[in-house]
Amino acid sequence: MDILNADIPIPRPEPMVPAALRVERLSKRYRLDSGEMLDAVSAISFEVNAGECFGLLGPNGAGKSTTINCVTGFYPASSGSVTICGLDVYAEPKRARQLLGVCAQDDTLDSDFRVFDQLVRYATYFRISTEEGRLRAHALLERFGLKEKANEQVESLSGGMKRRLQVARALISHPRLLVLDEPTTGLDPGVRRVLWEILMHERSAGTAILLCTHYMEEAERLCDRVGIIDSGRILDIDSPRALIHRHMGEDQVQEEVRPGVVWKRPPNLEDVYLKLTGTRLDLEAGES
Amino acid sequence: MRLPDSLWGVRCVWLRYFDVFRKSLRYYLVTTFSEPILYLLAFGFGVGALVGTLKVDGMEVSYRSFVVAGIVGQTVLFQGFFEASFGSFVRMYYQKVFSSMAVTPITLSEVLWGELLWDATKASAAAEVVTLIGVALGDFPPLALLSVLPLAFLSSLLFAGLGLTVSARSKSIDEISYPQYLIVFPMFLFCGVFYPIESLPAALQWVAWALPLTSVLSLVRTLTLGFPFQPWAVPIFVAWLFLLTVFGRRSMFARLVK
């Protein structure tokens, strides 16, 4: 019997699904205005899979925004690689960015366009037809509670509405990877929670999310895994619970809430950050 | 038809600007076309009535015709420079249009080409309106409408390159005023918009020829008034065009990308 032609099922390996985002030994070094060289990001590696929210937690200046600028291909990496769904962002920027939605830290809404028109215009940058762009814009404005503002100028929106619109714009292309740089900074707690709900819904729909934040509560609530970043280096990566367990154990933490008044509470990511770096994250995070 | 990726990206950017222009048409028509028309009325008709005719390079020409051709050059200078300097600074620094587009499938290089081409389109359209007035007044032959167009476009690109360089190198929008007063206005005053540069002292004539507007005006007057062709105008023009478009893009790249 010819064994090669025998009717025996041949086990085949599962097709490898590339991670939505893979960052490998990424470094970014650049010259400051003062002339000094800064190692903004040093050999960081992490992955974000479909349906996962990965948080980069660190204070301002830790290297989060530089990482995002490298992930989007806007800054060239000094070394290392970034792939989005297997596509190298530097070798194939157009194809890679077709899968990417970005919400920058700054307000980057195009103030020359009204709310609705701006979404439709942005959709064209992804080769989405105007007709399809209109359909998607209607759906997003409805979902983000901005339908009534469709014909308003961007400048007339409140800070929270602008932020929601910016996240909506990032979703117009139905991205596989959504990158959010401090999406809730400066927002009041109510608006922040509305955005969190939207992001949790996106994650459950299969979108991979890279979330850069200095809000400990945001990282704990939204992120499946968190990378703690300081001075351009990732110090540890794991789920919030595992990080807390590994670095703080189960013991209660004593905190002096005001002079002479000490209370005990469960440890959180803020404590992990303090233990790993010796510095505290922005205290504003704990106020939300 | 599906355009090649890079052309598609540049077209997307150009269409974004055109859409903004279309939506505020009245504002842009007034701000783009009123200035050259006012210069034309004041100098072409006002000063023109006093001066009568000029003799330049052995040719006799009415002062109005001379100035209309000069205003074609002045229009590409002002419209190209101001749109690419103040306009692009607002888009780059305040509106963050460049960085928000450059994280989509459109690359930053395409964004900057789109910016330059739009600035050149807008400025050359304004120059064409001045040329049309020149034709309507009988100062230029009708063919000038066609012959001036490519020159106006390339000249606008040149001055847009200067504007983009200035925008990229200015820390604040106020700093754009330095090159405006130290480069653009001197060009406007000394490169022959309102008088033949032969009237200037010899040393100043050399300075004027080193500046790009003089070669632009020389070529415009050859095409519109039939002035003798001055061959050195072409290499000077091409060198400035190449230098400023390359430098403008590189400067803005260096400003935005670390």
Distance CA A67, CA B222 (A): 55
Sequence-ordered list of residues with C-beta below 8 angstroms from that of A33, at least 6 positions apart, any chain: none
- Chain B residues with CB inside 8 Å of A94's CB? 5, 9, 105, 107
> DSSP assignment, residue A114?
B
* Chain B residue at shortest CA distance from A38: B258
The neighbouring-strand residues paired with A233 are A230
Distance CA A89, CA A102 (A): 14
Same domain, A59 and A82: yes
- Of the candidates B93, B76, B111, the one whose C-alpha atom is nearest the C-alpha of residue B184 is B76
Overall average pLDDT of the B162-169 stretch: 97
Give me the residue from B105, B108, B257 closest to A98, CB to CB: B105
Same domain, A62 and A124: no
Helix, strand or coil for residue A225?
strand
Same domain, A154 and A217: no
Residue A13 lies in a domain: no
Q: How far apart are the first and last CA of chain A?
A: 73
Q: How far is CA B71 from CA A123, A137, A190, B37, in A?
A: 40, 45, 58, 9
Q: Return the residue in A39, A70, A71, A110 with the most chain B beta carbons within 10 A, the one to mutate for interface testing.
A: A110
Overall average pLDDT of the B36-51 stretch: 86
Give me the residue from B5, B20, B101 closest to A125, CB to CB: B101
Same domain, A153 and A59: no
Overall average pLDDT of the A20-28 stretch: 96
Same domain, A162 and A24: no
Q: With a cut of 90, say whether residue A5 has pLDDT above it.
A: no
Q: Which residue has the tokens 């909506």?
A: A168
Contact A103, A181 (CB under 8 A): yes
Percent of chain A with pLDDT over 70: 92
Other beta carbons within 10 Å of A6: 8
Contact B254, A30 (CB under 8 A): no
Beta carbons of B105 and A126 less than 8 Å apart: yes
The pLDDT value recorded for residue B136 is 93
Same domain, A28 and A162: no
Helix, strand or coil for residue A233?
strand
ipTM of the complex: 0.86
pLDDT in tens, A132-171: 999 999 999 999 989 999 999 999 999 889 999 999 999 9
Same domain, A41 and A51: yes
Residue A260 lies in a domain: no
Backbone φ and ψ of A215, nearest 5°: -95, 110
**Final residue belonging to a domain, choices A174, A189, A217:** A174
Contact A54, A179 (CB under 8 A): no
Is A129 in the B-facing interface, judged by CB distances under 8 Å?
Answer: no
Q: How many domains does chain A have?
A: 2
Other beta carbons within 10 Å of A187: 19
In terms of residue numbers, what domain contains A230?
18-99+175-237+268-282
Residue A2 lies in a domain: no
pLDDT in tens, A184-239: 887 888 888 888 999 999 999 999 999 998 888 889 999 999 999 999 999 999 99
How confident is residue A60, by pLDDT bands cut at 50, 70 and 90?
Answer: confident
More confident residue, A248 or B241: B241
The mean pLDDT of chain A is 88
The dihedral sign for the CA sequence B146, B150, B153, B156: negative
Lowest mean pLDDT among A68-82, A152-166, A269-283, B46-60: A269-283
Sequence-ordered list of residues with C-beta below 8 angstroms from that of A156, at least 6 positions apart, any chain: A149
Beta carbons of A74 and B106 less than 8 Å apart: no
Measured in angstroms, the CA of B211 and the nearest CA of chain A are apart by: 31
The CATH number of the domain holding residue A188 is 3.40.50.300
How confident is residue A285, by pLDDT bands cut at 50, 70 and 90?
Answer: very low
Percent of chain B with pLDDT over 90: 82
- Of the candidates A130, A160, A133, the one whose C-alpha atom is nearest the C-alpha of residue A146 is A160
Contact B41, B67 (CB under 8 A): no
Measured in angstroms, the CA of A97 and the nearest CA of chain B are apart by: 5
* Chain B residue at shortest CA distance from A72: B103
Is A201 in the B-facing interface, judged by CB distances under 8 Å?
Answer: no
The pTM score is: 0.89
Q: With a cut of 80, say whether residue A282 has pLDDT above it.
A: no
Same domain, A183 and A68: yes
Beta carbons of B99 and A76 less than 8 Å apart: no
The pLDDT value recorded for residue A21 is 96
Q: With a cut of 60, say whether residue B119 has pLDDT above it.
A: yes
Residue A272 lies in a domain: yes
The pLDDT value recorded for residue A1 is 43
Beta carbons of B96 and A104 less than 8 Å apart: yes
